[in-house]
């Protein structure tokens, strides 16, 4: 019998993505109800993931999983960071702002970060991790796949941007893929009663 795990998001796309990572585990994922509104007041990705997982678990009395992720650029002191999704109104707007702010800076080092937290129904974090994918910011977009900052996030070890990679490759090496790979041994042992 499948066990319920509430994904602390209203985004059906994120629900599908998390379901892909959890394939083979006996959990039935469901979206958090729209009326539960969570104010992300944390100052780190892991703090926001914890906050979302705890709030949903406590409100519903169910197991909950949450993630918080974003892009941190060294030359911009970690920006856009927690504000990655709010750095502009559209993906193109966010990319253009980032490239404008970086200008001709030689230091293009960046990392995508994904923090994941799982809370039990009593509102206690039982698992958490943070996955990181190191890369560089290109001066112009490359590739037609992906979303967000993918066309300008270049992974030297793969010699491709996220937008040039197959979905399978991106999901394996991305920050989210790394985070779920780190969690899987513990997730498989976790008893969701």
74 a catalytic residue: no
Of these residues, 37, 67, 68, 91, which one is catalytic? 68
Secondary structure of 1-24 in HEC code, one letter for each residue: CCEEEEECCCCHHHHHHHHHHCCC
Q: Which of 175, 189, 149 is nearest to 21 (CA)?
A: 175
Beta strands (DSSP E) in 35-108 are 64-73
Whether 38 contacts 56, CB under 8 Å:
yes
Residues 154, 8: Cα–Cα separation, whole Å: 29
List residues with catalytic annotation. Answer: 68
């Amino acid at each position: 019998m499948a066990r319920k795990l509430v994904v602390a998001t209203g985004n059906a796309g994120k629900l599908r993505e998390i379901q892909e990572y959890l394939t083979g585990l006996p959990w039935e994922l469901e979206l958090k109800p729209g009326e539960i509104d969570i104010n992300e007041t944390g100052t780190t990705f892991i703090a926001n993931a914890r906050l979302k997982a705890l709030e949903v678990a406590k409100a519903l009395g169910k197991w909950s999983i949450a993630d918080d992720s974003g892009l941190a650029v060294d030359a911009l002191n970690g920006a856009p960071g927690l504000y990655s999704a709010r750095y502009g109104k559209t993906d193109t707007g966010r990319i253009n702002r980032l490239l404008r702010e970086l200008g001709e800076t030689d230091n293009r080092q960046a990392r995508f970060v994904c923090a994941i937290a799982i809370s039990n129904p009593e509102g206690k974090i039982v698992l958490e991790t943070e996955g990181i994918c190191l890369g560089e910011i290109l001066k112009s977009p490359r590739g037609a796949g992906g979303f967000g900052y993918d066309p300008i996030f270049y992974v030297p070890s793969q010699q491709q941007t996220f937008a040039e990679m197959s979905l399978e490759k991106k999901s394996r090496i991305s920050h989210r893929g790394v985070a779920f790979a780190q969690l899987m041994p513990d997730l498989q042992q976790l008893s969701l009663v």
